[in-house]
Amino acid sequence: MRQRPHEQDKNERRHNFLPVEENLTAQQVKEEASRCLHCKNPRCVQGCPVNINIPEFIKALKEDDLEKAGDTIRETSMLPSVCGRVCPQERQCEGNCILGIKGEAVAIGALERYVGDNTEAKRSEIVPSGKKVAIVGSGCAGITAACDLRKAGHDVTVFEALHELGGVLRYGIPPFRLPRTVLDREINALEEMGVKFEKNVIVGKSITLKQLKEDGFDAIFICSGAGLPKMMHIPGENLNGVFSANEFLTRVNLMHANEENSATPLKIGKSVAVIGGGNVAMDAARTAVRVGFEKVYIVYRRTEAELPARLEEIRHAKEEGVIFNFLHAPCEIYNNDGYVAGMKFEIMELGEPDESGRRRPVGTGRYADLDVDTVIVALGTGPNPIIQKSAHLDGLDFETDKKGYFVVNHETRETSIPMIFAGGDVAPVGESNAINAMGAGKKAAKAINEFLLK
């Protein structure tokens, strides 16, 4: 039987930001590792974007060799504690597990998390290459690339626009899912390797790509994330009390806007509608519960079966009292003297599948109102054009697609400008999540290393 971690009581966790789940116990780890079939053709590895040798690290756990398990994972991933917590394992490694066909998959994520939390990366001798690499952004892609490039001997500097490191891992993912001590430990390991970090530097504003080249950087990897929120484009969207999920989560996670004496206080209303159905919507809703909203709604235009969020996130949200309104499409935000005074939705029904494979929501001509005083829009993000615009002024014109994302070689992550590479959410491949960003970082690091050694 699949082992499950102990969870904080649902009524208690509504009022704190402490981790919802504990690690498995050592005995549970041993029992769970024993469930692995050690397949000759391990589909779990194929389902992992960075191809961790999952059977090998699980075998080490089964043999009580925790150190070997840690070494095995870190051959390909420097963020086991992070990925064990935030990766969508049910759609990747665990989703490909043979045991999951007729029963329950091996709890690969929980095992990885346990290993990450209980082992440390080994230090290896680094032989300087004499080459310098600039990395723009300290999220998953940037951290991963920085690690691999530093191991290869290059002088690596990571430029972060915010005053704290970690990118979306810090400002976007709440601490009840990813404790800050875990993130800090992973970043500290990179600093000990010799990776340099420069905070409060907005590439494209504080410094340009041209200036980085003039400063002697031999290659540049842009992985600044996609921070431009997608909005609904309906009446009332500019009212006070309407937030993008990025803004709301950043203000709480990074700026502590919900706490007393905050320099940037957040007005907490009585009820909030979170528009969207992905992991960010779940994070925003669960955060809204914790900061004190009396009623928290997630409003989604399809049914529960089409929700793109992780099943674990959906379950936790329900347990914490989040109310789900399905088949509702936003039409208007009502105005009361410049503030949100409710929302109007059209009732939908599902039609034929769209390009995503999910059934398309179709309007019925029937409408419903929702009594809320706050709205959080969690419909995804697009690329911020700051870097491209700045580069254009310096005569560097990147090839971008119609949505503004960098066009790159999917294998090397190289852009249309030699020596400049891009990955993560500014040049996405597949689902936007931590492990896919790490995969992009690894590909970019490999290609950059080959480029520098020519």
The closest of 170, 270, 276, 288 to 231, measured between CA atoms, is 276
Q: Does some domain include residue 22?
A: yes
In terms of domains, do 374 and 273 share one? yes
In terms of domains, do 25 and 108 share one? yes
The token pair at 121 is: 């990366």
In terms of domains, do 234 and 308 share one? yes
In terms of domains, do 440 and 306 share one? no
- Residue ending a domain, among 118, 152, 178, is 118
What distance in Å separates the CA atoms of residue 183 and residue 188, rounded to the nearest whole number?
9
pLDDT at 434: 84
| pLDDT tens digits, one per residue of 76-110 | 998 999 999 999 999 999 999 999 999 999 999 99
Q: Does some domain include residue 202?
A: yes
In terms of domains, do 373 and 388 share one? no
In terms of domains, do 24 and 93 share one? yes
Give 41's DSSP letter: S
In terms of domains, do 200 and 340 share one? no
| pLDDT tens digits, one per residue of 312-371 | 999 999 999 999 999 999 999 999 999 999 999 999 999 998 887 888 999 999 999 999
CA 291 vs CA 259, 271, 361, 430: distances in Å: 9, 12, 32, 33
Please state the domain count of the chain.
3
The closest of 60, 75, 73 to 29, measured between CA atoms, is 60
What distance in Å separates the CA atoms of residue 55 and residue 65, rounded to the nearest whole number?
14
In terms of domains, do 410 and 350 share one? no
Place of tokens 């053709």: 41
Query: In angstroms, how far is the first alpha carbon of the chain from the final one?
Result: 52
pTM over 0.85: yes
In terms of domains, do 376 and 239 share one? yes
Q: Give the angle 30-61-67 at the CA atoms, nearest 5°.
A: 135
- The residues of the chain scoring below 70 in pLDDT are none
The domain in which residue 405 lies consists of: 132-227+383-452
| pLDDT tens digits, one per residue of 47-75 | 998 999 999 999 999 999 999 999 999 99
Pairing of strands 359-370, 339-353: antiparallel
Q: Does some domain include residue 303?
A: yes
The closest of 431, 427, 384, 104 to 279, measured between CA atoms, is 431
- Residue ending a domain, among 91, 118, 145, is 118
pLDDT at 261: 87
Question: What is the number of other CB atoms lying within 10 angstroms of the CB of residue 238?
Answer: 10
In terms of domains, do 101 and 163 share one? no
CATH number of 149's domain: 3.50.50.60
In terms of domains, do 310 and 358 share one? yes
pLDDT at 336: 97
